[in-house]
A = this chain, B = another copy of it.
């Protein structure tokens, strides 16, 4: 294996270290390396037995790691980003995850100063441990439909929390099952016989000494899951539990003491901002996940040799005919190289999202919220599109590793299983697209009805959505006009293609709803297609923007490194082209339907995609090396940097606990295991 990877690395046309720097920047790299070293050298974070653990053992292991992490945070005074890096290297979502990820941020964002004093300070010290209890057995996506009630009792100045039905049971709440002693509970606020919809309440749920549930509270773990089994997702029922009025998180809305009068929030834009940020973080996680999957599959495919390619047999140094690396089969390239390209695309879109979010934060502090609507709509659709893409691509990489991909030792199994909920939580990926498309239809209608398109034309420089909608309105009959396969490498053509298709779908839907009286429900399939088309446009646009000529001087360190090396730029151009054109080929039906492309142009497009696979082939291994995913994270026998695939498979198999057991295989004997001693881990 090692020699094959060495040969691959020799072929690279660019400097891997340089590309790594252009992706992460020097500060992030330094931080990551520093934290990684600490974790690798701490025996608590050892991962060598994880694949053999059952649920209880795994949970115990995660609790130990979470506790140790708290100590390290204190010891090294890690900031949020450093903690985030540590969590992602530890890579085992555990019992304190939601305390860190949702409980603390929610109090921070929605608590008053007194509430922060009372709850945030002890939470930051882990004197109390919390979770975020929104979803119920009967309601997830439809938060308005939650059934848990919080009724204000003026006599005692308390809220009474109750679960009127079985379906009102909180469900899926991370950290609630066995860990949390506090919860932020979303409940229907009722006061003076009126309903004010769901609001957040902080509720102590377990005794701080005995850790037993408090009276009126029934709580437990909801059982085994596809993955995420080191987290105790829990259920909880309330039987008329009283809490002080103080415990309603009241930065935005509150209930007046005694009168029970409801003070409504000034505006909800701030909470939208947080959602945008969380989604930018999710897209960042997508880029890492794609990079991780591609790293394993590409390295293994270089090492794995299967069949002699009869047309082009490979020879070893001593002239013997040897089997071909499966990475040389075009089908394997066609399955895997686009995943590399997706990972790079998500790097640049995650970066663009965070840059834009920072800009928004700045503007909003001076009262300008103009970026928010577009940012919110785009981030919803991008979360949906990219997490589905990630999950599907991880699985495609796994399948491309044949039988060994099915073994946990391959490094895909638990990784995929833990990543999978990303398509369901933080907004179900189908429902999320409603928000994106609603905004796009609205924008389209506004542009069409506007008397003065010049205003839009000037604004559109900043807003890509407006750009492509205006282009479409000005020229609804755009066509591709390609005469050679090379034409498809033209960025201008590429942007036109994706913009035209998105706008066409939007225009079509507006027509059906406004002129043909179609109901929203009857349009949901189009709604989904529109959001996808829009977000693919954004991915294409952000990637192209990053690699195109930059205004000088380039202030951004990462872009400066990228643009100062012609070799880097060249390989990134290939990767960008592959992302764009492979996406176009996959969605070719829609490009036909909007009459952008003809059948003979589609053939040229395909030819170009195949040419790009050849163009990328020599750099394939180096492109994944550049992602710099540490072995500590990969935990993969197949994806090892040194290519020692087979030795590692055998080494790890020898630890399987079953191997300590001797069977009695006689079907008439009641004895199953002759010796009950399991092999030592």
Per-position binary interface string of chain A over residues 384-423, scored 1 when its CB falls under 8 Å from any chain B CB and 0 otherwise: 0000000000000001001101111100010000001101
Least CB separation from A667: chain B residue: B70
> Are B323 and A145 in contact, with the CB atoms below 8 A?
yes
| Complex interface: chain B residues within 8 A of A662 (CB) | 178, 211-212
Contact B169 A650 (CB under 8 A): yes
Does A93 lie at the interface of the complex (its beta carbon under 8 Å from any beta carbon of B)? no
Q: How far is the CA of A423 from the CA of B523 in the complex (A)?
A: 34
Are the C-beta atoms of B663 and A225 separated by less than 8 Å? no
A428: chain B residues within 8 A (beta carbon): 402
- Docked-complex contact B60 and A223, CB < 8 angstroms: no
- Cβ-based interface call for A312 (8 A): yes
Q: Is A610 an interface residue (CB 8 A)?
A: yes
Most buried by B among A145, A226, A673: A226
Identical chains bound together, number:
2
Given that A413-B225, A665-B211 are contacting pairs, would A330 and B56 also be in contact in the complex, using a CB cutoff of 8 Å?
Answer: no
Q: A56-B661, A311-B519, A658-B56 are in contact. Are A331 and B141 (CB under 8 A)?
A: no
Which residues of the other chain, B, contact A71 by a CB distance below 8 angstroms? 667-668
Contact with B along A166-192 (1 / 0, CB 8 A): 110101100001111100000000000
A55 and B167 alpha carbons, distance in the complex (Å): 33
Please tell me which one of the listed residues B63, B145, B528 contacts residue A331 in the complex, with CB atoms under 8 A apart: B528
How many Å lie between the Cα of A459 and that of B656 in the bound state? 57
- On chain B, the residues within 8 Å of A430 by CB distance are 331, 335
With a cutoff of 8 Å between Cβ atoms, the chain B residues found around residue A171 in the complex are 403, 649
Docked-complex contact B413 and A399, CB < 8 angstroms: no
Closest partner residue, chain B, to A658 (CB atom): B221
Q: Given A56-B658, A67-B667: A406 and B226 within 8 A (CB)?
A: yes
Beta-carbon contact of B64 and A672 below 8 Å: yes
Q: How far is the CB of A491 from chain B (nearest CB, A)?
A: 23
Q: Are B181 and A60 in contact (CB under 8 A)?
A: no
Looking at the assembled complex, report how far the CB atom of A344 sits from the nearest CB atom of chain B, in whole angstroms. 22
Q: Is the CB of B610 within 8 A of A525?
A: yes
Categorize the interface residue count of chain A.
35 or more
Q: Which of B95, B407, B524 contacts A225 (CB 8 A)?
A: B407
Residue of B nearest to A598 (CB): B592
Q: Quick check: B408 and A225 within 8 Å, CB to CB?
A: yes
- What is the CA–CA distance of A54 and B167 in the complex, to the nearest angstrom? 30
Q: Is A140 in the interface zone, CB < 8 Å from B?
A: yes
Q: Determine whether A232 belongs to the interface, using a CB cutoff of 8 Å to chain B.
A: yes
Distance between Cα atoms of A179 and B66 in the complex (Å): 39
Closest to A655 in B: B223
- Any B CB within 8 A of the CB of A142: yes
A117 at the interface (CB under 8 A from B): no
A429 contacts which chain B residues (CB < 8 A)? 399
Q: With both chains docked as a complex, state the minimum distance between the C-beta of A479 and any C-beta of chain B, in angstroms.
A: 12
- A595 CB contact (under 8 Å) in B142, B402, B405, B599: B599
Give the segment of A32-40, A131-139, A368-376 that binds chain B.
A131-139
From B223, B309, B595, contact of A409 by CB (8 A): B223
The CA of A421 and the CA of B140, in the complex, are separated in Å by 32
Interface string of A320-352 (1 = CB under 8 A from B): 000100001111001100000000000000000
Q: CA A140 – CA B211 in complex, angstroms?
A: 53
Question: Which residue of B is nearest A210, CB measured?
Answer: B662
Task: Map CB proximity to B onto A658-681 as digits: 1 under 8 Å, 0 otherwise.
Answer: 110111111111001110001000
Q: Determine the residue in chain B with the shortest Cβ distance to A399.
A: B423
Partner of A178, one of B56, B135, B658: B658
Which one of B224, B331, B403, B589 lies within 8 Å of A424 (CB-CB)? Answer: B403
B residues in contact with A669, CB < 8 Å: 67
User: Min CB distance, A35 to chain B, in Å?
Assistant: 18
A654 closest partner in B (C-beta):
B220
From B232, B309, B521, B653, A223 is in contact (CB under 8 Å) with: B653
Cβ-based interface call for A217 (8 A): no
Chain B residues with CB under 8 A of A629: none
A307 in contact with B654 (CB, 8 Å): no
Contacts of A212 in B (CB 8 A): 662
Closest chain B residue to A167, Cβ basis: B646
Choice from B126, B138, B307, B405 contacting A646 with Cβ under 8 Å = B138
Would you list which residues of chain A between 466 and 506 have a CB under 8 Å from chain B? none
Closest chain B residue to A139, Cβ basis: B306
* Interface presence of A522 (CB below 8 A): yes
A652 touches B (CB below 8 Å):
yes
Interface residues of A in 192-208 (CB under 8 A from B): none
On chain B, the residues within 8 Å of A169 by CB distance are 650
A603 proximal to B (CB < 8 A): yes
Is A588 positioned at the interface, with any CB of B under 8 Å from its CB?
yes
Is A520's CB within 8 Å of the partner chain B?
Answer: yes
Residue A222 at the chain B interface, CB threshold 8 Å = yes
Contacts of A159 in B (CB 8 A): none
- A663 near B223 with CB under 8 A, answer no
Contact residue among B180, B610, B647 (Cβ-Cβ distance under 8 Å from A522): B610
Additional A-B contacts beyond A180-B665, A593-B603 (13; CB < 8 A):
A67-B672, A71-B668, A95-B665, A96-B667, A137-B646, A137-B650, A142-B307, A166-B650, A177-B656, A223-B652, A310-B520, A330-B522, A589-B592
- Contact surface of A with B, Cβ cutoff 8 Å: 51-57, 59-60, 63-64, 66-67, 70-71, 95-96, 126, 129, 135, 137-142, 145, 166-167, 169, 171-172, 177-181, 211-212, 220-226, 228, 232, 235, 306-307, 309-312, 323, 328-331, 334-335, 399, 402-403, 405-409, 413, 420-421, 423-425, 428-430, 519-525, 527-528, 588-589, 592-595, 599, 602-603, 610, 646-647, 649-650, 652-659, 661-669, 672-674, 678
Name 27 interchain pairs, CB-CB below 8 A, sorted by A: A51-B223, A56-B657, A71-B668, A95-B665, A96-B667, A129-B665, A137-B649, A137-B650, A140-B402, A145-B307, A178-B663, A220-B654, A221-B653, A223-B409, A223-B652, A223-B656, A224-B413, A228-B406, A329-B524, A331-B527, A331-B528, A403-B424, A406-B420, A588-B592, A588-B593, A589-B589, A593-B602
Closest 7 CB pairs of A and B: A54-B54, A70-B667, A331-B524, A588-B589, A311-B519, A592-B592, A224-B408
